Homo-oligomer: A and B are copies of this chain.
Amino acid sequence: MNKAQIKKVVLAYSGGLDTSIIAKWLQDEYQCEVVTFTADLGQGEEIEPARAKAQAMGIKQIYIEDLRETFAKDYIFPMFRANTIYEGEYLLGTSIARPLIAKRLVEIAQETGADAISHGATGKGNDQVRFEIGAYALMPNIHVIAPWREWDLMSREKLMAYAAEHNIPIETKKGKSPYSKDANLLHISYEGNEIEDPAVAPNEEMWERTVSPKAAPDEETVITIRFEKGDPVAINGQALSPARIIETLNKLGGDNGIGRDDLVENRFVGMKSRGCYETPGGTILLKAHRAIESITLDREAAHLKDEIMPRYAKIIYNGFWWSPEREMLQALIDKSQARVSGEVRLSLYKGNVMVLGRESENSLFDSAIASFDDELAYDHKDAEGFIKLNALRLRIAAGKR
């Protein structure tokens, strides 16, 4: 499809300067109509102002949507069922939001008869991959316009000049973060500025969603989380919707200095990248989910989950949420969660999440296995045979050396 054929483009529009410039640039460069799509994914900023901004640029079709519940229920929760961590550290806060945005972009393209979608992700990052692979998987003939790979506005100065030239208002917010950020219900990520050097610790001022462990109250907060079939459903006895669960845990975690992570990760596009992340609610949830699984999940089920987890995490990180392999792994994971119900009690204290107790109506823990009725009793003598046969292959081999 060549430029001239593109008549309408759906843009993932945050309302900020960069995507405003993109909206304008698309209109100019492609001489096409632009449809904006702005979603509340829990980033903590009003999305309604995006409407006026879009209107000011002459946009006719403006989609503004609160997707927090969908995001929590259909993306975050399934991922947490797997205790998902990328490279031992990263809770995938950005990665997990992208497939939902990709899905809405192509759905809106279909609704509005658009030929293309566009986004503001740069040409060196993971997000371009996640948006585009997601979109292609759902709508194979969609055209994608990635301005950062196409235009020549490659410096802040050029962008500012372009904005000025085209009357795009530049809000010079005081205290605007000097970092490249991504925020949603699950986390805030930070890149750039001083943290480009992995030897340097971030400035304390960078963090927005958590206090420092040092600044957190010198008193623990004790909470309980109730799980049903692998998903959290209530906090301190109060049933909450999925998004409210995450928000509540974010507040609890953030107040207690929980959920900061500072790491160097490997991008799908091939380079290493320093990132700092705040995932207060997710950090609590991961610990709690493992705890409820520890008493309700069969050993081999748990081990199988642990062994496939890194691959599942990589699939999500790399942008393949909408792929058969992710769906296959999800089927395996979901199958395991049928009896993962119960309650976990946790202490939150200055950056620490400590499990105080776990209880479940489905508990497989039996402190008195010896007191089973006769037939189920654990016979100490069984251990001998168990050991002997487990060792047999090694004994034979040793005997032959």
Whether a CB of chain B sits under 8 angstroms from the CB of A4 is no
CB distance from A32 to the nearest CB of B (A): 16
Whether a CB of chain B sits under 8 angstroms from the CB of A149 is yes
Chain B residues whose CB sits within 8 angstroms of the CB of A299 once the complex forms? 266, 270, 272, 393
Chain B residues whose CB sits within 8 angstroms of the CB of A300 once the complex forms? 320, 323-325, 393
Let me know if A392 and B271 touch, CB within 8 A.
yes
Known: A336-B328, A367-B196. A392 touches B88 (CB 8 A): no
Which of B196, B294, B332, B387 is the one whose CB lies under 8 Å from A128? B387
Which of B143, B266, B375, B385 is the one whose CB lies under 8 Å from A143? B375
12 more CB-based (< 8 A) A-B contacts, given A129-B390, A133-B391, A201-B356: A87-B294, A123-B381, A128-B387, A129-B386, A136-B387, A137-B395, A197-B367, A300-B393, A324-B336, A331-B334, A376-B399, A386-B389
Whether a CB of chain B sits under 8 angstroms from the CB of A388 is yes
Chain B residues whose CB sits within 8 angstroms of the CB of A365 once the complex forms? 198, 264, 272, 274
Number of copies: 4
Chain B residues whose CB sits within 8 angstroms of the CB of A140 once the complex forms? 375-376, 394-396, 398-399
Q: How many residues of A contact B (CB 8 A)?
A: 123
| A-B contact list, 17 entries, CB within 8 Å | A124-B370, A129-B383, A141-B395, A199-B345, A262-B356, A266-B299, A270-B392, A274-B367, A298-B394, A300-B393, A301-B325, A304-B328, A328-B336, A332-B332, A382-B385, A383-B385, A383-B389
Which of A88, A263, A303 has the most CB atoms of chain B within a 10 A radius of its CB?
A88
Chain B residues whose CB sits within 8 angstroms of the CB of A89 once the complex forms? 290, 294
Chain B residues whose CB sits within 8 angstroms of the CB of A199 once the complex forms? 345, 357-359
